[in-house]
Amino acid sequence: MVMKALCISPQHGGWRSAMFMLVLGALTALSLPPFNIVPVMPLALGLFYRAVCVAPSHRRAALWGFLFGMGYHTAGLYWLTNAILTRVHDFWWVVPFAAPGVALLIAPLLIVPAVLCRLVPVGWPRVLLFAGTWTLADMARVFYFSGFPWNPLGSSLEVIGGLGDWLIQPASLIGVDGLTLVLVLASLALWQGWRAVMSVGLCGIIWCGWGAWRVSHEDVLAGHVNPAVVIVQGNVRETEVLERDSAVAQFNAYLKLTEQGVRQARQQMPERPAVVVWPESAFPGLLEEDGWARQAIASSASGAPVLLGSDRRAEGADRWYNSLMALAPDGHIEAIYDKSRLVPFGEYDPWILPFHLLPAEVVPGPGLKTWDLPQIGRVGPMVCYEIVFSGSVVAPGHRPDWLLTISNDAWYGNSAGPRQHLATGRMRAVEEGLPVVFANNRGVSAIYDAYGREVGRTGWGQEQVLVRPLPGPGKATLFATLGRWVPCLLSLFVVVLSVLPRWTGCRRRRLFRSRSR
């Protein structure tokens, strides 16, 4: 009806139909954090699904899938342009291509559900096949370069507040990809008649009820180190980080904030050891090679360990590690974690580029670790981008008591980017049943408990210290035990279910023909 009212017919080509697919994809992105306008999803997905079904050929359906993906990912990643603007004098020509360029690489994945769903009859078989293949194609984004699983539809349920806490609890069983599967199924089911609508409503009530029950029956493991966490947010603009003209002033500001935060922690929670967290890019040098700076940091922390980010030299010219270091109270480095999942186009040049975009190369570390340190406990350290990877945030066989990620989202300005990044930390907390500490240079920094409930947060663009007690870990969830196999097998089951009626029908026809002979 909407397409007819706009005089648009997806059965035929034309720029209007193409633009309509792009707009539908962009509208779907409004359901993502931080907007979380979830009702646009069934509208946009339903119209997209209808367009795919009535397309005159597989080629046209593939085009609709690609254009929908371009609209969805370009709108959802619009904030990537801000990163280019920080170095606009060097890369002004990249500005129009930042978000559309990344979208161009991952949009083709939506061709998969758009084409394959047409292989089964219209109705529930087609709906099931569309939802199952959408989820499997979306999960395949981890194989693009070093992986880019940003903005799965399942993150739309991360509504701020108590309702969002209830909605995301099933991620402890099926992960964010399982939430994506459910949301696509529910969105298309709303177009399948009033009985389907009633069923979706009933399932939604059960879904929220179970989430509320899980949150109210909190089960936190005892006997662990639960320090008072002091997140120091220095609010240093990215241009200042890059130019380093005010590096000394930035360093002194972080030292001052650290003294303030440790003092506050010991006044409010004298029974807990304090641990200080500085975000990525907070230290403007090479901490491993600067003994004076380490002593200055240790002195400002007054006996509290400090976890902070710093670049580290690797072998070879212009090769670096992006590292997270644990600084002991006496100023020596207790542990080092080198970032292992690097950002394509941000920390290394993908092979598809015929030129060098970055002035220096960042080298990936060996993989995830779990530190077990005095006053800190068992912590899983990560740097920036790594928190995005569902099912890949805990070192195998070494489950920590809490997860820590440090980041510098100042690159992306006061946009949806830092909020979307923060939302991944909340989702990982629910999936793994572990508290998450998320420290960001300009914001937003936050602490979540093992159920994804917010313990505290800072604002964007504020020089601020956040002091909160670290929540205890929960029991290992089903998803923490089995990982992405759960949503993968669930999606495969839905796919098999969609083709089962056709397969059994063909088998019956062959059996009938053989008997009639």
pLDDT in tens, 26-83: 999 999 999 999 999 999 999 999 999 999 999 999 999 999 999 999 999 999 888 7
The CATH number of residue 348's host domain is 3.60.110.10
Cα angle 459, 414, 147; round to 5: 105
Residues 6+ apart with CB under 8 A from 169: 210, 211, 214, 215, 430, 451, 452
pLDDT digits (tens, 9 = 90+) for 330-374: 999 999 999 998 877 666 666 566 555 555 678 889 999 999 998
Residues 425 and 352 in one domain: yes
Going from the C-alpha of 465 to that of each of 132, 441, 442, the distances in angstroms are 44, 11, 11
User: Looking at the domain assignment, is residue 176 inside a domain?
Assistant: yes
Residues 22 and 117 in one domain: yes
Centre a 10 Å sphere on the Cβ of residue 268 and count the other Cβ atoms it contains: 12
Residues 175 and 232 in one domain: no
User: How would residue 247 be classed by pLDDT, with cut points 50, 70 and 90?
Assistant: confident
Residues 250 and 188 in one domain: no
User: Looking at the domain assignment, is residue 515 inside a domain?
Assistant: no
User: Looking at the domain assignment, is residue 257 inside a domain?
Assistant: yes
Are 357 and 348 spatial neighbours (Cβ–Cβ below 8 Å)?
no
Residues 403 and 496 in one domain: no
User: How many domains, in total, are found in the chain?
Assistant: 2
Backbone angles phi and psi of 469, in degrees to 5: -70, 140
User: Looking at the domain assignment, is residue 517 inside a domain?
Assistant: no
Q: What is the mean pLDDT of the chain?
A: 89
**Residue 500 in this model has a pLDDT that exceeds 50:** yes
pLDDT digits (tens, 9 = 90+) for 169-186: 999 999 999 999 999 999
Share above pLDDT 70 across residues of the chain, in percent, rounded to a whole number: 89
**Residue 6 in this model has a pLDDT that exceeds 50:** no
Residues 291 and 173 in one domain: no
pLDDT digits (tens, 9 = 90+) for 262-279: 999 999 999 999 999 999
**Residue 226 in this model has a pLDDT that exceeds 80:** yes
User: Looking at the domain assignment, is residue 316 inside a domain?
Assistant: yes
Residues 402 and 416 in one domain: yes
**pLDDT at position 224:** 78
Question: In the predicted model, what is the mean pLDDT of residues 426-442?
Answer: 97
User: Looking at the domain assignment, is residue 375 inside a domain?
Assistant: yes
Residues 193 and 232 in one domain: no
Residues 6+ apart with CB under 8 A from 92: none
User: Looking at the domain assignment, is residue 423 inside a domain?
Assistant: yes
Q: Which residues of 416-428 are buried (b: 16+ CB within 10 A; e: fewer)?
A: bbbbbbbbbbbbb
The full DSSP string for 439-458 is: EESSS--EEE-TTS-EEEEP
**pLDDT at position 11:** 58
Range of the domain at 48: 2-217+484-508
Residues 235 and 209 in one domain: no
User: How would residue 213 be classed by pLDDT, with cut points 50, 70 and 90?
Assistant: very high
Residues 321 and 368 in one domain: yes
Residues 186 and 256 in one domain: no
User: Looking at the domain assignment, is residue 223 inside a domain?
Assistant: no
Residues 469 and 449 in one domain: yes
Q: Which of 237, 249, 257 is nearest to 308 (CA)?
A: 257
Dist. CA 78–CA 74, nearest whole Å: 6
Going from the C-alpha of 97 to that of each of 23, 93, 100, the distances in angstroms are 18, 8, 5
